Structure 1
Amino acid sequence: MSLLRSAATISGLTLLSRITGLIRDILIARTFGASPFTDAFWVAFRIPNLLRRLFAEGAFSQAFVPILGEQKAKQTPEHVKTLLDHVAMVLFFTLFIVTLLGIIGAPIVVWITATGMKENAGLQETIWMTRVMFPYILCMSLVAFASGVLNTWKKFAIPAFTPVLLNLSMIFACFFLVGLFAQPIYALAVGVMIGGIAQLIVQWIALAKIGLLPSFRHNLKEAWADPHVKRIIKLMGPAILGVSVAQISILINTNIATWLPSGSVTWLSFADRLMEFPTALLGIAIGTVLLPSLTAANTKGDIENYSQLLDWGLRLVFLLGLPCVLGLALLSEGLVASLFHYGAFSHQDVLMTKTAVFAYAIGLIGILSVKILAPGFYAKQDIRTPVKIAIMVLISTQVFNLIFVPFFAHAGLALSVGLGASMNALCLYIGLRRRGAYLSRTSWLPFFIRLFPALLLLGLWLYYAQQFIDWQMLDPHSINHWLGLKIAQWLGHLSWIPSASRIMALIIVLLGSMLIYFASLFIIGFRIRDFTRVR
């Protein structure tokens, strides 16, 4: 399977995840709006998510996947299976203890995370939901273990699909569990735990099918003594520091948001959901398929192939990421209004979320590039360099917060994150070049010159389209005038016209954007075959 096909598989399934995630957030926005209680849920949900990224998808994956790939290439299947058993045991018991401590110490954790929350404005609700959702970190750590194994064996589909299960369980909670609780928002916390368990079951079934389901029959002391487990733990030390720096930045931003006007945490969460579309479809998908290939190239000492892989990833990031920047920036109000402006989600909520989306768009290329460049270090089992860069970025991000938050409030937090990520990407790029690990063969200036006309036409189309649409006060007759379609007038007789007309207009604008951009690329001379192979 080619890298592009693997990335496309992950992107397609990730798209399904993001679509179900949008449906989930639309239901949350319609049902609960932006209030102290929704802020309480997003704060409580962010706590296990921070730890998940720290212990599971972050530090653990960065340390585990390169060593697993190395052992798979050099050792017998029996030796690899024993390693998997040992790693799974150590991971489970460590995170089990962390989970217990988190449940017991939930009030302290919430106080550290959200010092701006008041007793009468969601504090107790946050503590309750934090306790309910803390075991999610245990489930997702074992899911991250399974994903690392499946991705190393080039089984990318199941890990990319399982996040859909979390979204479906939360959608189920919105429909069927809300009435079971005196405080309806509690249903979402229960839905998160159902989703975590479902993801774990599906991924471990996938491990069983390829004969790699870990066994817990070994002695825990024996597992700790395994030299490869010790290597993973040793690598996880700086990796935890590196990932924790990024999570500390998110933690600080969440804390600052709790001091801003009520609803700020929710506005940022919904803006982050829109920003995650391109981040997951491009950055995470490409980075996921790159890491095993980069590890294999590094193991063989093939610097040429290693560099070509990074070139391939960066070319795709710019080719597909730059139009996403334009889309998020110029279509921010259309996206937010079409998806969330229903029920309890007010006109003011749309405006506040829109500014955060625009701010995130400024740093999107930096966020995507980090997902490509950081695996270049992880494949070499060099985690210390990204850690040093991350510490510098953390400091810089907080300086940005001091500058931008007084002027732009919650949007200043989003802008600081994007600018920090851009600095991170630049430093990673310079680091790889200076150590001679990345010898780029792409002529970047001609590449961007060829790309510019397509981006210009896309930007003009998006700007032109906005002149005809008032996304929040959408009138079907204005659409009829703009599109020349009688169907809009017919839709005006239906009670769900606001949602129908917005969604119809958004779909047409997006389809027009895709047609203009990709047709322009084809005319300019870009071809799919240029990206189906590493050259």
Structure 2
Amino acid sequence: MNLLKALAAVGSMTFVSRILGFVRDTLIARVFGAGVYTDAFFVAFKIPNLLRRLFAEGAFSQAFVPVLAEYKNRRGHEATQDLVSKVATLLGLVLMLVTALGMLAAPLIAYISAPGWAHSEPESLALTIDMLRVIFPYILLISLVSLAGGVLNTYSRFSVPAFTPVWLNLAFIIAALFFAPYFDPPIMVLAWAVFAGGLLQLGFQLPFLCKIGMLPRLRLDLHDEGVWRILRLMGPAVFGVSIAQLSLLINTIFASFLESGSVSWLYYADRLMEFPTGLLGVALGTILLPSLSKSVADKAEHEYSSLLDWGLRLTLMLALPAAVALAVLSVPLVTSLFHYGAFAEHDVWMTRQALMAYSLGLLGLILVKVLAPAFYARQNVKTPVKIALFTLLATQLMNLLFVGWLHHAGLALAIGLGACINASLLYYYLRRAGTYQPLPGWAAFLLRVLLALILMGLALWFAAGTSASWLHADLWHKLLKLSGLVALGVLVYFGSLWVLGLRIHDFIKRAA
């Protein structure tokens, strides 16, 4: 399958999900604002999300997909289906235990996650505990969703896992619009929306697994060779992913000692960052991991290096303009999406600060999602773990350095710069090992991108207008003007690249 077409398919499905994600967050901001209640929900939702990334999208996928790709390419359908069944059974049993323990330990988990609330905001802490008990089963559901997604991606059914998050966003939107008044407090409806979204996502993927003959059966075999290979790979991978998630958890702890609303401001800024990160970083990582794993299984080293080179060029070409646009259009974006109802002008400025800080690290955040699969495809998880540990220490040092004078924005800046350090070290070790050899033409490519970035940034800066004009405009005027600015940025940037001699068919040839 042509990788650029696969990327377009994943990107288009992810785009739908992210747009609905913005609708969801706009509704949450409008109905609930940024304060005690939303802080409680975002903390409660973050904890299962951390475990989801640990058990599912993180360590599990990194260990599971390369082994699954090897089985598919070398051992045939029956052995592959047997492996999926055994892994799904073991994962389900472990996560049922984790879910039960999490629900029982909700008070302790909530206190560890936001210790600053114990005395300053006990209402937020109590609400977080109640929400955690409703949300925790989501870990089991979404981990099985991620397992199904790994199987579907290995079989080049990329669009299905990419579309799956749409169901969670729809659950949020329906809950906020129609069911909030029936809950006390109303924001409790969002916790039940998470649970319902997990059920919808899993139910959506099962028919597609059945179609390719990979629907898991109940089979527990702790002595299976393939299962043990995955477990051995998961060991260091769990450690590495937990380091990254620990960094996010520490940020929440820091934010709990800051001004009320800090957790929410970071969340809303992060959601804007998640759009390009998901649209490009997650999409590329999703496609590259099985493709790189296949190259390693086939011992095609040149193909492996070429795939990585293609991914890196595409990342730089698309991530850099996204970072510039997020910084230049920070006020238009925040006001257009969130400045309604309970979301006040003060919330706009605070969210804007976090977004501008995050934008400095966007390239690093996306590059990590492209470079890390290069190690996982070779079943090398130790090197990313060592790099993640160093990044954690560096991030916390930057937190201590920045939080005193930049407050919540300092926490966002530390995360972004930490991601840049992570990406730089991953690239360094790939080059040192000789597994990645850059193809010719990088200097000319970077020069063209830099010139196009400057022209785009200037065009957006002059066209955006004053902050006051965005703060006081109505919804449709803001959305129309924002759409025009996005179109202008795309036209100036890609038009400049075309004038400078960069052609899209160059990427099609590399991706074929």
TM-score range, shorter chain: over 0.9
Q: Distance in 1 between matches of 2:483 and 2:388?
A: 38
Q: CA deviation at 1:243?
A: 0.1
Match of 1:291 in 2: 289
Between 1:389-398 and 1:174-183, the stretch displaced more is: 174-183
**Structure 1 stretches of 5 or more lacking a match?**
476-497
- The one-letter amino acid of 1:252's match is I
- The one-letter amino acid of 1:507's match is S
- The one-letter amino acid of 2:490's match is M
Match of 1:107 in 2: 107
Q: Distance in 2 between matches of 1:403 and 1:202?
A: 45
- The one-letter amino acid of 2:508's match is T
Match of 2:93 in 1: 93
Q: How does 1:448-467 map to 2 (within 5 A)?
A: 448-467=446-465
Q: CA deviation at 1:299?
A: 1.4
Secondary structure of the corresponding residue to residue 212 of structure 1: coil
Match of 1:331 among 329, 348, 351: 329
Matched, 1:147 2:149: yes
Q: CA deviation at 1:185?
A: 0.6
Secondary structure of the corresponding residue to residue 365 of structure 1: helix
Q: CA deviation at 1:469?
A: 5.8
Secondary structure of the corresponding residue to residue 24 of structure 1: helix
Q: Distance in 1 between matches of 2:76 and 2:367?
A: 36
- Report if the CA contact (8 A) 2:331-2:467 is conserved: no
For residues 469 and 6 of structure 1, do their structure 2 counterparts lie closer, same or farther at Cα, with a shift above 3 Å needed?
Answer: same
Count of residue correspondences: 509
- Report if the CA contact (8 A) 2:345-2:471 is conserved: no
For residues 121 and 26 of structure 1, do their structure 2 counterparts lie closer, same or farther at Cα, with a shift above 3 Å needed?
Answer: same
Q: CA deviation at 1:471?
A: 4.2
Match of 1:393 in 2: 391
Match of 2:347 in 1: 349
Match of 1:200 in 2: 202
- The one-letter amino acid of 1:33's match is G
RMSD over aligned Cα atoms:
1.1
Match of 2:184 among 163, 182, 185: 182
For residues 110 and 468 of structure 1, do their structure 2 counterparts lie closer, same or farther at Cα, with a shift above 3 Å needed?
Answer: closer
Q: Give CA deviations for 1:220-278 in whole Å, capped at 9, x if unaligned.
A: 3xx21111101101110000000000000000001111111000000000000000011
- The one-letter amino acid of 1:530's match is D
Q: CA deviation at 1:204?
A: 1.4
Match of 1:122 in 2: 124
**Structure 2 stretches of 5 or more lacking a match?**
none
Secondary structure of the corresponding residue to residue 43 of structure 2: helix
Scaled by the length of structure 2, the TM-score of the pair is: 0.98
Matched, 1:48 2:48: yes
Match of 2:159 in 1: 157
Sequence identity, in percent? 51
Between 1:518-527 and 1:158-167, the stretch displaced more is: 518-527
Match of 2:268 among 257, 267, 270: 270
Q: How does 1:274-423 map to 2 (within 5 A)?
A: 274-423=272-421
Matched, 1:512 2:510: no
Secondary structure of the corresponding residue to residue 470 of structure 1: helix
For residues 404 and 471 of structure 1, do their structure 2 counterparts lie closer, same or farther at Cα, with a shift above 3 Å needed?
Answer: farther
Secondary structure of the corresponding residue to residue 385 of structure 1: helix
Match of 1:437 in 2: 435
Q: Distance in 2 between matches of 1:527 and 1:417?
A: 34
Match of 2:505 in 1: 529
Q: Which runs of 4+ in 1 moved over 2 A?
A: 118-121, 466-475
Q: Distance in 2 between matches of 1:44 and 1:349?
A: 21
Scaled by the length of structure 1, the TM-score of the pair is: 0.94
Q: CA deviation at 1:468?
A: 5.1
Match of 1:240 in 2: 238
Match of 1:61 in 2: 61
Q: Give CA deviations for 1:319-362 in whole Å, capped at 9, x if unaligned.
A: 11111011001100110011100000000000000010000000
- The one-letter amino acid of 2:506's match is D
Q: Give CA deviations for 1:73-95 in whole Å, capped at 9, x if unaligned.
A: 11021111111110010000000
